[in-house]
Amino acid sequence: MLRGSSRDCGSPNAGKPEVPKAYCLRAPQGVPAVATVLHLEQAVYLRAAQASAGPAHARCQYPQGRGPCPADEVRALWAPCPPLTPAAACTLTPAEPASRKANTLVSVLLDMALGLLLLSWLHRKDRFAHLAEALVPVADRVAEELQHLLQWLMGAPAGLKMNRALDQVLGRFFLYHIHLWISYIHLMSPFIEHILWHLGLSACLGLTVALSILSDIISLLTFHIYCFYVYGARLYCLKIHGLSSLWRLFRGKKWNVLRQRVDSCSYDLDQLFIGTLLFTILIFLLPTTALYYLVFTLLRLLVVTVQGLVHLLVDLINSLPLYSLGLRLCRPYRLAAGVKFRVLEHEAGRPLRLLMQINPLPFSHVVRTYRLPSCGCHPKHSWGSLCRKLFFGELIYPWRQRGDKQD
């Protein structure tokens, strides 16, 4: 129990003249918040000469007759409340290095425990053999659906009139790649069970390692879809850049590579004639190429979405502050957002008696404050940059490229 002049720290009335001056608990620089709170609990009585005297005239007394504590110690523990909002006032600084080590240790132990559970589940009832037997039929089913999709595109998709010659060339080209992919899958089918068994042993290193290998397996199994997407994107991007260059030719402009700008230019009649022919050819072939590009881009985005969910799960396991959340659940006073005081006795001519209470840190603030840093290898595209890349046919990678600019 404390004596002194005070009010609830961080209340909306902070800074108003009619309210007595408050004194908030603040952790000195370099001292953990928990140590400051425990240090304050040793001081039983805090006496003030007046209700608004402040820590300059305050003196405290330790229990069991240990005598008064130094005035510098009182000034270190107490400071006048600034006129801040309730969320910003009276905030304690956490012991970040120790909590980060504890959170990292608990995260690693939980990761390895979940990995061992997954490994034991896979070894039970010979589930590796069942997965190997189901993998080849699934690959055949995916290839069959892609063949049906390509045959639909080679006809009249949704009643659209496509360029038949280019449509047949692109369709047969992609059908040949599907045939090659199915041949490779059937060639590797006798070794799939052994490959899965050796890859499953990586689960003893942690669940995140197993999930990362699962993402790589998805990339290998959908490699033909990635190839289709790259072919379609490059062909579409080539036509878009060709049309934009020819459009500048019609307007008497050209792109200056050295100065990175559009300059005026005069063209001959032969150049304008050839440009007109090429522009007409590209503009009539663009719908066929754009349709193939759109279909394979949607398939690629579906695969990237599945891999993104796996990566989010890995980042969640690696960055979630489990130790801090458990500490907040079992011992909320160890993670304090501040303190508040409740008036117990307020009589004229007698010191004011207050009761100090600790405000626990909310769970959302615990996650934001103690969250472990995650891997920054994944690109962070805004919706605007993503739509721009899709429109101009630029490749979208699930990893960060060297020299990429963050939007």
**Model confidence pLDDT, tens digit, residues 217-254:** 888 888 889 999 999 999 999 999 999 888 888 888 88
Report pLDDT digits (tens) over 27-39. 343 333 333 333 3
pLDDT of residue 176: 92
Based on the fold, state whether residues 295 and 200 are members of the same structural domain.
Answer: yes
Are 120 and 267 found together in one domain? Answer: yes
Rg, C-alpha atoms of the chain? 34
Higher pLDDT, 176 or 89: 176
**Of all residues in the chain, what percent carry a pLDDT higher than 70?**
72
Q: What is the pLDDT of residue 378?
A: 59
Q: Is the pLDDT of residue 93 over 90?
A: no
What's the CA gap between 138 and 156, in Å, rounded? 28
Mean pLDDT of the chain: 73
In DSSP notation, 50-66 reads STT--GGG-EEE-GGG-
Residue finishing a domain among 323, 358, 392:
323
Q: Is the pLDDT of residue 331 over 50?
A: yes
Q: Are residues 353 and 288 in the same domain?
A: no
Are residues 79 and 179 located together in one domain of the fold?
Answer: no
Instruction: Judge whether residue 42 has pLDDT over 80.
Output: no
pLDDT of residue 250: 83
For the chain, give the percent of residues with pLDDT over 90: 17
Question: What per-residue confidence (pLDDT) applies to 229?
Answer: 93
For residue 94, the one-letter residue type is: P
Q: Which domain holds residue 199?
A: 101-323
Section 378-407 average pLDDT: 69
Query: 59 and 125: one domain?
Result: no
The answer to whether the CB of 115 falls within 8 A of the CB of 122 is: no
Alpha carbons within 13 angstroms on the beta-carbon side of residue 385 total 10
140 occurs within a structural domain: yes
Say if residue 225 is in the same domain as residue 290. Answer: yes
pTM: 0.66
pLDDT at 162: 83
Position with higher pLDDT, 399 vs 284: 284
Question: 386 in a domain, yes or no?
Answer: no
pLDDT (0 to 100) of residue 365: 79
Number of domains in the chain: 2
Q: Is the model's pLDDT at 161 over the cut of 60?
A: yes
pLDDT at 15 over 90: no
- Give the mean pLDDT of 27-56: 35
Residue 124 has pLDDT above 60, yes or no: yes
The label of the residue with tokens 């039929």 reads: 137
CA dist list (Å): 185 to 33, 142, 201, 218, 390: 59, 12, 23, 14, 31
Looking at the fold, whether 343 and 363 belong to one and the same domain comes out as yes
Residues 80, 118: one domain? Answer: no
221 and 237 fall within a common domain = yes
Continuous H helices in 64-126: 71-77, 96-123
Domain endpoint, select from 290, 323, 356:
323
Q: What is the mean pLDDT of residues 43-63?
A: 35
Average pLDDT over every residue of 53-80: 40
Same domain, 84 and 208: no
How many CA atoms within 13 Å lie on the side-chain side of 343? Answer: 12
At 74, list the tokens: 């009182």
Does residue 318 sit in the same domain as residue 348?
Answer: no
Q: Judge whether 378 lies within some domain.
A: no
Q: Are residues 175 and 303 in the same domain?
A: yes
How many CB atoms are located within 10 Å of the residue 304 CB? 19
